[in-house]
Amino acid sequence: MTRSRVLNAVRYGLLVVILVAVGWALARNWTEVSGELGRMSVGALLAGLVLTTGAPVFTLLGWRVLLADLGSPLPAAPAASVFFVGQLGKYVPGSVWTVFAQAEMGTRLGVPRRRMAVTGLLSIGLAILCGSLLGVVALPRLVARGSSPVTAWVVVAAVLVGGVLLWPRLLNALVALGLRILRRDPLEHALGGRAVLVTCVWFLAAWVSAGAGVAVLVRAVQPAAGATDLAVAAVCGFALASAAGQLSVLVPAGVGVRDGVLALLLVTFMPLSAATAVVVVARFLAVVSDLLVAGGGWAWGRRHHLLGSQG
């Protein structure tokens, strides 16, 4: 058996174990969790879905800025088709399917495979970095396993680290090192400082939008939740949990990892049953939003033969 097949077997096996564990935990507490689910109004669910859908839209805008800076500006419609359809690759065990799908579709738009692939890898890296920097605010609460005040040094440290890591000269050096390690050719030209800044602003907007969607769900089942709890545990906590999930390349879309970290943060100020309900619904809304935007991208791509259709 080849190494790739072994890795795929491990990934699928790990995914099955996680899903069984999550299902078992949910079944054990279903009586309490179902009661919390019943407290979520249709309005809260719709608001959560709209805010959750904002995440892939904002991420697309940042990805498009990077692609243009590397030499391949794309109009909004084809860019959305390539990005949203390709994003479904994250639900397949493995770490390259999203980038591979986007690279293949990009060739039909005249974008070199290598440039599209590098853009995809850069986007993933910058998104994880932005999510981690925003999520640092929630780290003291996660470590303390209880309500922990946000100290100024945490915020200052996040800003300073972000400023250093996103400094164009250092960032380009890190990118060059990463490409050498992966045995890939260097970038055709260095990333521009403005492009990096604008991309990171869009990525931060994506994290905040998705986190705000979680906050809406939290408020629905825990009306007494304070603004600090919502901002730290829901918004920043979601960014931290999702960044951790994206780093766990063995499972698709961070299943289990993101949900577990988010639940640990939410139980610092709400019952476990309520936190479980929020995590389950948040995951469901994320999948629905991905399918909605991918559906629109697929329809456009199908009409314009980006998906291999010639009729």
Q: What is the DSSP string of 6-31?
A: HHHHHHHHHHHHHHHHHHHHHHHTHH
- Confidence band of 94 (pLDDT split at 50, 70, 90): low
Please give the share of the chain, as a percent, with pLDDT higher than 90: 29
- pLDDT number for residue 67: 94
CA-CA distance, 93 to 8, in Å (whole number)? 7
- pLDDT number for residue 2: 65
The identity of residue 206, as a single letter, is A
**pLDDT at 218 > cutoff 60:** yes
- pLDDT number for residue 195: 92
| Mean residue pLDDT across the chain | 81
- Average the pLDDT over 71-97 and give the result: 82
- pLDDT number for residue 151: 64
The identity of residue 107, as a single letter, is T
More confident position, 300 or 156: 300
